[in-house]
Each structure stands twice: as C-alpha cells, then as structure tokens.
A and B are shown apart, each in its own frame.
Chain A
Amino acid sequence: MDSLKSEQNESMQTIFAIRHLNLYYGKKQALHDINVDLYEHCVTALIGPSGCGKSTFLRCLNRMNDLIDDCKIDGQILYHGTDVQSVNPILLRTKVGMVFQQPNPFPMSIYDNICYGPRCQGVRNRTHLNELVERSLREAALWDEVKDRLKTNGMALSGGQQQRLCIARALAMSPEVLLMDEPTSALDPISTKKIEELVMSLKERYTIIIVTHNLQQAARIADYTSFFLLGDLVETNKTETLFSRPSNEKTERYITGRFG
C-alpha cells in the first residue's frame, strides 16, 4: 500500500484535492466529510448504489450545485490548489466540462451545438470555429458520421450519436477535466462500447471523472475507482486493487453483489 501511494505521488499530478467536504440539501446531509485526491490524465470512476451521492459529488467539481436553491457546501475543493468556491463559476466550467446522463444536444444544428460554448466566450472567427468543429468531432469519433450534414439538427441524431455530440460540444471548450454522469446508461451496448473507447482515448489529453453503475465498465476503463455509500466515500484505490483486493469490507460486499 505504501509503495503504491508513493508511486502515485511521484508520477501523477493532483488536479482536484477534496478536503473535509460536507454537503447539505436543506437539512439533509448528502455528503459526509469527503477527502480524496483526483489525478490528472487519469480516468476515475465513481461507483456506488443509487442515491449515495455520486452525482452530487460530481456536481461539486464544476459548481453545478450552485443552481440548486437550498444546497450548502462546506470544506474545500481545491482545483490546482485553488478553492473552486472562490473562482468565477463560469471560468471554472470552461475548464471543467460536463456530460450528462441523458444526451442533451440543443435544438440547433450540429455545427451550432459545437460552437455554442466558444461563441459564449466571444469566439467569432469563422475559420477558427470551422477548425474547432472538425477537431472536436474527430476527438469524439463522430466526424466521419456527420461531416456531410453539419447543418442538420442535433436532435435528429441517434441517442449514441447525440451523446458523442455532447462530448464533442464539451471538448470544443478545450477543458482540462471532463465530468461524465452515467454517460452510457441511456445507450445501447454498441454505442456504449464506442463511448468507452472514446473515454480511454481521451484520457491522454483530458482528465476524466465518470459516474457509472456498471462495475464492468469501471473495471474496463478506469485507472482509479472510488466507492461511495450513503454519502460516505468508503474507498478510493487503483481500479485493479479495488476490484481484486478491496481494503474495505463494505467495498467487497458491494462489488461481489451482496448489497446495494
């Protein structure tokens, strides 16, 4: 264990450091004293039974919880050493992109979908936008399928294509981190496989934090896995370690399917 930790610290840069994070929805506490480091250029999977706070935790990282009226946070979420609560959320979200469970393209053309984020930041240059669209769609492995119909409505694509469009749309912002909340749970196995491959290819350039209910998926694609239970972060470990030799008894019971 000790050797593993030192190995992590040497080769990996911490991008998010979470310290004593408590989160309340009104009076109800949804996260209890979370402490964890998330590493750059890694895929980190968040697993755990339904309602344990995975989405809540993910939304803390780009401050989407700000939108919930009675949500209160204390503790620190350090992004490159700065507390995210002190930075402009708009700036934070351009660096920390998000992909949702339900594909949610805008009801506009594929092209405009991709350009939405950059345009909001004031990018107007046509050739620059064209390059951006092609680059993002290529990165999201969607270019070959849609390059002839960039003007068609994004809603007219299949579910799997819509989800890759949403990924491309997030990538167009050139973020450092990509948060994904069960991005494949609404998709068929083939689309799921495509997105999994995509995630693995993206980790060279981006840091990916992905919530999943599919333990095999976590085992396939994640470098690190965190197990949440009832608002507690029970265990974070290298994925092979967590699935083969979990250090916590609760983790073992969950991954062997004995509860949750």
Chain B
Amino acid sequence: MNENLSLFDAKESKKIERKRRMKDFLAAGSTYLFSSFSLLALIAILVFVFSKGWNTLSAAFIVGDYNATLTSVTTNQAITETTNTFTYQAKDGEYFAENWGLAFTDSTTTEGNPIVRLSYVDPYSNTTSWIDSNTGEAFRPKVGEMITVVTLCDSPAENEIKIVSGNKGAENMAANFRKYNFVKNMTANVGGGGIRGSLISTLWMILFTLLFALPLGIGGAIYLGVYAKNNVITRTLRNAIDMISGIPSIIFGLVGGIVFLPIAAGSGSSGNLITGSLTMACMILPIIIKSTEESIRAIPLRQSQASLALGASQTQTVFKIILPNALPGILTSALLGVGRVIGESAALVYTSGTAIKDVIIPTQGSATLAVHIWTLMSGETMNYGASCAVSILILFVILLLSLTVKLLSLSVQKKQKGK
C-alpha cells in the first residue's frame, strides 16, 4: 500500500528520479571511461608502431633479402678523388671521415661477426664514380651497408696502398678514410634486413595450415552439426573443443614440438614449415569447427527437411544444401584462422624455427613475420625500427581480415533479412 502511494507522491518520486539519474550517470560514465581506456591503448599501439616503423617500411624492405649480399666495387677511372670537406655532427659511436662525407659505426653481421657499417652518407658525398663490378652500374653506398674490406691509396700513382678490413672497427676505418683520398676498390655487404623470406614463409604457413585444418574442421563441424546425436559424448566433445581455444599458444608450441618434430626428423631440431603448420592447424581447428558448426545450425531446419523429404540422402543434403549455405561461415572461420597464423609467434618458435631465411623451402625451418619480430628483438641489440615496420604490415593485414569478416557477416544478415 505504502509503496504504491509513494509512487504518486511528487516529492518522493522526484527523489527516486534523482537517485536513478545519478546511478545512470555513474554507469554511463564508467562505461565511457573504460572503453576510452581500450581506445587509448589502441591509439598508443598505432602511434608507437607507426612512429618507429614507418621510415623503415619501403618496397625494398618488403621484397628485399634479409641477408646482405657481398658486392665488390671498383671505381670508374680506377681511382676516385675526393676534394670537398663535409660536416656532420657524429653521434656517440660514430666516426666521420670529413673528406669523404661518410660516417661509420661498429656493428655485427647476421652471423654475429664484427663489421663496420655505414651510418651516414652525405647527399653530396663524392662517390659518384663508384661502380658495382658485378652489374657495371653505378654504386651509391647507403646507410646500413657493411664494409668488408677496402683498398685505399694516397694518389692515383699508387705509391702507398693500405688495405683496411671491416673487422678492425669503425674508428680504424674512419681514420684510414680520413688519411687517404683515393679508393682503389672495396668489398661491401649490400642490402639486407628485408622481409621477403619471412613474408613467403608466412604465406606457406597459411596455405599448409588451412590445408590441414579446413578439411578436418569442416568435417568435424558437419559431424557435430548434422550427424551427432545429442548425448554425453557429443557434449564432452563440444566442451573439449571450447577448452582447446583457451589453451595458451606457447603450450601448443611445446606439445607440437614434442609430437610433430620427430615426424620431421632430419630437418634439424627446430622443425620446419610443415611441423609448424600442423601445430597451427591444431590451434585454429576449434575456431573453424565452432564457426562452421554455428553457421550450419543457423540454416533453417526446414531446408534440410525439404531436401530429405525429396528423397535426397543425408550426404546429398550435406553437400547440396548445408555446405553451400554454410559457406560464409566457413570463409569467416578460415579468415579468422589466417589472422591467428599471421599473428602467432610463441607456438612457432619451437615448431618451425626462428631463423630468418631468404630462400624458403617448406621442409626447412624458417621464421614467419611474427617470429621475424621475435628474432629481431631477441638479438643483442633490439631492432625496433624493423620490428615496428613488420608490425605495421601485420596490423594492416589483420585489419583487412577483420573488415572482410564484418562485411561477410553483414551480407549474410542482409540475405537472411531480405528473404
């Protein structure tokens, strides 16, 4: 009685209204706060990755070799003379040769040997007559290139010749370049740092993973969605599949390493693309089964009933009615799986190797893009530039994939609503 009355009591109801508004405000406020946190995190990631990686990203970076190639350089008229003097604010660890406009730093090769790298090349540096003796084309030295050995001399008459090796350090190299005005010839490690190999091994990885996972996953989904009776075994199976998708990927890596590596014995202890993709297939199997089964269940029962009532067998119904209708779901699951493969590193470190290669052979170990980052960052010096450049690529592909998935599900919804 009292409660009913209070609803009509103006003062009381105002109070209740105020309280309700307060609660609404708090709830809405915290919702916005928390969601803005996640937005902030996303923006932070993008800003960091783009600021660090954008400069490194280039066509040469994407299609280039990771390992530098040895190039020998000769000069146009046997010898180049430098006449200008250049200025450059050398940073810590950099040694500048003013007469050449070149700066050097100490570095290591991908094999870990000491080497001298060019860290600065003046835009007007007098190296115009340098010639790549393999191709016969002009050779313009670039930042990052490694000097293996160089022959310097005092004059075109070659009265005094000095051979400087790249493993003697940057300080020594710069001092000798300063001293001599002529370069007779040079051997340089050119290029390198590119990700073409890792890109290709990622593509192989995707292909093999889908090849293993799609037939198994679709088969499993058809079994669960069409044939399986609703009993204890089926329910246990479903729960198991749900649980698999929650297992951390590093555990997949460990178990994959133990189970699949012996199969690929002979290809080295770190596995190859096949063992890696077998592991990845196990990881994405639950995604494919779940998404496909869901889309099979979404097909109206009356469709398969109509088919069976027309004298079609269960198998004919599966292939003619159920699978074509479930195709968008299958495609979605495949795309989600591809996203997982592209982004995965932990499971692959033990199963397909961490070595970055330029020539990709599926029966040998090689790093995918995500593992490429792992390798770059686990060296002595962390290569943030290249890692972030790879990250930009990965983020871009993942974004594309999720957009495609969105569009797919939208078009399916439209189709279901429209008809």
Interface status of A249 (Cβ within 8 A of chain B): no
* Cross-chain contact A120 with B302 (CB below 8 angstroms): no
A44 in the interface (beta carbon within 8 A): no
B313 within 8 A of A: yes
Chain B's closest residue to A98 (CB) is: B309
- The 8 A CB mask of A12-31 against B (1 = contact, 0 = none) is 00000000000000000000
A49 within 8 A of B: no
Do A62 and B307 contact each other (CB < 8 Å), given the known contacts A100-B302, A102-B302, A120-B320? no
Contacts A69-B230, A116-B320; A93 near B308 (Cβ below 8 A): yes
Mark interface residues in A97-118 (1 if CB within 8 Å of B CB, else 0): 1101010111100000000110
Q: What 1/0 flags go to A202-246 for Cβ under 8 Å of B?
A: 000000000000000000000000000000000000000000000
Write out, one digit per residue, whether chain A residues 48-74 have a CB within 8 A of any chain B CB (1) or not (0): 000000000000001010010100000
A94 touches B311 (CB 8 A): yes
CB distance from B328 to the nearest CB of A (A): 12
Contacts of A98 in B (CB 8 A): 309
A155 and B311 contact, Cβ closer than 8 Å, known pairs A100-B302, A104-B305, A166-B306: no
Residue B411 at the A interface, CB < 8 A?
Answer: no
Taken together as a complex, chains A and B put the C-alpha atoms of A102 and B311 apart, in Å, by 19
A120 touching B419, Cβ below 8 Å: no
The winner among B306, B310, B312, B325 for most chain A CB atoms within 10 A is B310
The smallest beta-carbon distance between B349 and chain A, in angstroms, is 45
The closest CB in chain B to the CB of A154 belongs to B419
Partner of A116, one of B230, B300, B310, B325: B310
Say yes or no: is A164 at the interface (Cβ < 8 Å to chain B). no
* B406 CB-CB contact with A under 8 Å: no
List the A side residues contacting B303 at CB < 8 Å.
104, 106-107
Interface of chain B: mostly helix, strand, loop or mixed: helix
Partner of A121, one of B230, B305, B307, B311: B311
User: Which B-chain residue is minimally distant from A113 (CB atoms)?
Assistant: B306
Instruction: Give bound CA distance, A62 to B309, whole Å.
Output: 8
**Given contacts A69-B230, A107-B419, A100 and B306 within 8 Å (CB-CB):** yes
Is A117 touching B419 in the complex (CB atoms < 8 A)?
no
Of the candidates A102, A155, A156, A169, the one whose C-beta lies within 8 Å of that of B310 is A169
Closest to B231 in A: A69
Chain B contributes a number of interface residues (CB within 8 A of A) equal to: 19
A58: min CB distance to chain B, Å: 11
A173 within 8 A of partner (CB): yes
- The minimal Cβ–Cβ distance linking B300 to chain A, given in whole angstroms, is 7
- Interface flags for B284-319 (1: CB within 8 Å of A; 0: not) read 000000000000000010110111111111001000
Kindly list chain B residues whose C-beta atoms are within 8 Å of the C-beta of A107: 303, 325, 419
The answer to whether B419 touches A93, judged by C-beta atoms less than 8 angstroms apart, is no
Answer yes or no: A4 CB below 8 A from chain B CBs: no
Residues of A within 8 A of B419 (CB): 107, 153, 155-156
Whether B300 lies near A104 (C-beta < 8 A) is yes
Q: Does A91 contact B (CB under 8 A)?
A: yes
Nearest A residue (CB) for B316: A120
B320 touches A104 (CB 8 A): no
| B229 interfacial by beta-carbon distance below 8 Å | yes
A120 and B230: CB pair below 8 A? Answer: no
Find out whether the CB atom of B302 lies under 8 angstroms from the CB atom of A93. no
A113-129 interface bits toward B, Cβ cutoff 8 Å, 1 = contact, 0 = none: 00011001100000000
A19: shortest Cβ distance to chain B, in Å?
24
Expressed in whole angstroms, the Cα–Cα distance for A169 and B316 within the complex equals 17
Confirm or deny: B331 has a beta carbon within 8 angstroms of a beta carbon on chain A: no
Chain A residues whose CB sits within 8 angstroms of the CB of B300 once the complex forms: 104
A100 to B300: give the CA distance in the assembly, Å: 13
Selected contact of A64 from candidates B230, B309, B316, B321, CB within 8 Å = B309
Pick from A91, A97, A106, A121: contact of B321, CB under 8 Å: A106
Q: Which residue of A lies closest to B310 (CB)?
A: A117
CA distance A117 to B303 in the complex (A): 13
Which chain B positions have C-beta within 8 A of A62? 309
Say yes or no: A173 contacts B310, CB within 8 Å: yes
Q: Which of A104, A153, A155, A156 contacts B306 (CB 8 A)?
A: A104
B311: chain A residues within 8 A (beta carbon)? 90-91, 93-94, 117, 120-121, 173
Chain B residues near A153 (CB, 8 Å)?
Answer: 419
B313/A67 in contact, CB under 8 A? no
For B325, the chain A residues whose CB sits under 8 A away are 107
B306 proximity list for chain A (CB < 8 A): 100, 104-106, 166, 169
Q: How far is the CB of A137 from chain B (nearest CB, A)?
A: 16
User: What distance in Å separates the Cβ of A143 from its nearest Cβ neighbour in chain B?
Assistant: 20
Q: In the bound complex, do residue B309 and residue A116 qualify as a contact, i.e. CB atoms below 8 Å apart?
A: no
Residues of A within 8 A of B320 (CB): 116, 120
CA gap between A103 and B300 in the complex, in Å:
12
Docked complex Cα distance between A107 and B302 (Å): 12
Chain A nearest CB, measured from B301 CB (Å): 9
Chain A residues with Cβ below 8 Å from B307 are: 106, 116, 120
From B230, B302, B309, B312, contact of A97 by CB (8 A)? B309
Alpha-carbon gap, A104 to B306, bound state (A): 7
Q: Which residues of B contact A121 (CB under 8 A)?
A: 311
CB of B259, distance to nearest CB on chain A (Å): 36
Residue of A nearest to B312 (CB): A120
> What CA separation (Å) do A62 and B312 show in the bound complex?
13
Q: Output the least CB separation between A51 and chain B (Å).
A: 19
| Sample of 15 further A-B pairs with CB below 8 A, known A94-B311, A153-B419 | A64-B305, A69-B229, A90-B311, A91-B311, A93-B309, A93-B310, A93-B311, A97-B310, A100-B305, A120-B313, A120-B316, A120-B320, A121-B311, A169-B306, A170-B310
Using a CB–CB distance below 8 Å, which chain A residues touch chain B?
62, 64, 67, 69, 90-91, 93-94, 97-98, 100, 102, 104-107, 116-117, 120-121, 153, 155-156, 166, 169-170, 173
3 closest residue pairs by CB, A with B: A94-B311, A117-B310, A98-B309
26 contacts between A and B (CB under 8 A): A64-B309, A67-B308, A69-B230, A93-B309, A93-B310, A93-B311, A94-B310, A97-B310, A100-B302, A104-B302, A104-B303, A104-B306, A105-B306, A106-B306, A107-B325, A116-B307, A117-B310, A117-B311, A153-B419, A155-B419, A156-B419, A166-B306, A169-B306, A169-B310, A170-B309, A170-B310
